[in-house]
Amino acid sequence: MRTMKIHISLAETFGRLAVMLTFGLALSPVVTAQTPGTFGNEYSIVGYNDEATENRIARLAARMASGEVELEYREKRGYLDSLLEHLEIDPSSQTLVFSKTSLQYQLIDEKTPRGLFFNDDTYIGFVQNSQIVEVMAMDDKLGMVFYVFKNAPKPEEYFVRETQRCLVCHDSAGTMGGGVPMVMALSSIYNSSLISKMDVSGAGNVEDKMPVRDRWGGWYVTGQHGSQTHLGNLILPGAGDLTQVDEFRQGNVDSLEELGMLDPSPYPGNTSDITALMILEHQLTVQNLITYINFKAPAVLERAGFPEAKAANSWAELPPKAQLSLTRMMDRMAGAMLMQEAATLEDRIAGLPAYQSWFTSRGPSDSQGRSLRDLDLQNTLFRYPLSYLVYSPAFNAMPAYAKDYVYSKIRSELSGNGEVSHPYDQEDREAALEILEETLGANMSVASGNW
């Protein structure tokens, strides 16, 4: 299934094999679960097919089942607006993707793109004229979990948990066995038939290190970016000629109406915000790595003959051979948190003020009013070289030995003892460390005493 695939680039013909959903046995009038499947070792170790309870969707479903919350259905978008409100997702986070990379590919094109809305841990995909909404959430125990929401008046059930169908595409191994559930934000150049002519992001996710000029193929993009170019809003005419890319680039527009490519009135807003897109890409990169560690690290320890090490409370408690087996993935996690390879912006970014205000207001600040959510947008996306996701429950739920290692890396680099995080200088790093030291205690629990 292709539920909530955020512009994942697969063969276009595969998308046409999507079939109608069939759901499992009802557990309640609010949420149902798909029939269990057979997964590879990583899935069974983590218990991915277990009930997902540690995420925002499960908590909302429980409140709906108890009668505490009742969603409001509105003719134009069904339950979408009410769903966003109760999930604490601001409509200003709206981005639009027109690539046919979704379960609902038949309803998506450049005039009816899929709307994506998100906060720190939950993602909503809305398609016009559809009776389902695609939902994905970061579960503290299971990582990325997938649902569909019945967007029709008074359905018998609202949320339906999906595993097998979604993992056809969202399994990093691509075969629902031995991989890790993940979500990708990619970039491809499309022709007028919405067939990909080039996957610019290649085999990996769009990450902080990718230059703006190569981002957002298959997406609409609003906001100012100065002399920089990007691949958003770009559809090559006819069969598509890659030599025409520069001729058909469109940018520096503040609203979707300026593009003249679609009617934005069916959506909550008239933007597909450039800042929201950049934050989305950073957030998915970090969350995919958190899920990767939660799935892979216990499996690696078990296969290496150290199953008891899974309960270690610090990195030092792991046997040296176990440390050697895990160091690479831990370094990747630390590097993403520290934005070690963040690309330098070539010009100032100016996105939707409402979104920036909402995003920056959601995190803790120190006594000087500084926050890891502060945006720079002149040279880099973030003002300080440490991800705000250090406060997230999912990060805190990683194995204790993993957190211990990553915290040690964070302290080493921010104090000036580690590698220099380009393009951040020593003053930026010291400020990030000061913010973290002042705000960490109230927002995170640290397994070891090393912090």
Q: Are 418 and 412 in contact (CB under 8 A)?
A: yes
Give the number of other Cβ atoms within 10 Å of residue 328's Cβ: 9
Burial letters for 217-242: b for 16+ Cβ neighbours within 10 Å, e otherwise? bbbbbbbbbeebbbbbbbbbeeebee
pLDDT, one tens digit per residue, over 167-216 is: 555 555 544 455 777 787 889 999 999 999 999 987 667 888 899 999 99
**How distant, in Å, are the alpha carbons of 26, 262, 266, 403 from that of 112?**
32, 7, 9, 43
- Cβ neighbours of residue 401 closer than 8 Å, sequence gap 6 or more: 309, 312, 313, 314, 315, 317, 318, 326, 447
- pLDDT at 14 (0 to 100): 30
- pLDDT at 157 (0 to 100): 86
Quote the pTM value: 0.88
- pLDDT at 4 (0 to 100): 42
**How distant, in Å, are the alpha carbons of 5, 128, 268 from that of 263?**
23, 12, 12
- pLDDT at 206 (0 to 100): 87
For 100, the token pair is 């046919």
Residue % of the chain over a pLDDT of 70: 82
- Cβ neighbours of residue 379 closer than 8 Å, sequence gap 6 or more: 344, 345, 423
Q: Which positions of the chain have pLDDT values less than 50?
A: 1-29, 34-39, 174-176, 442-451
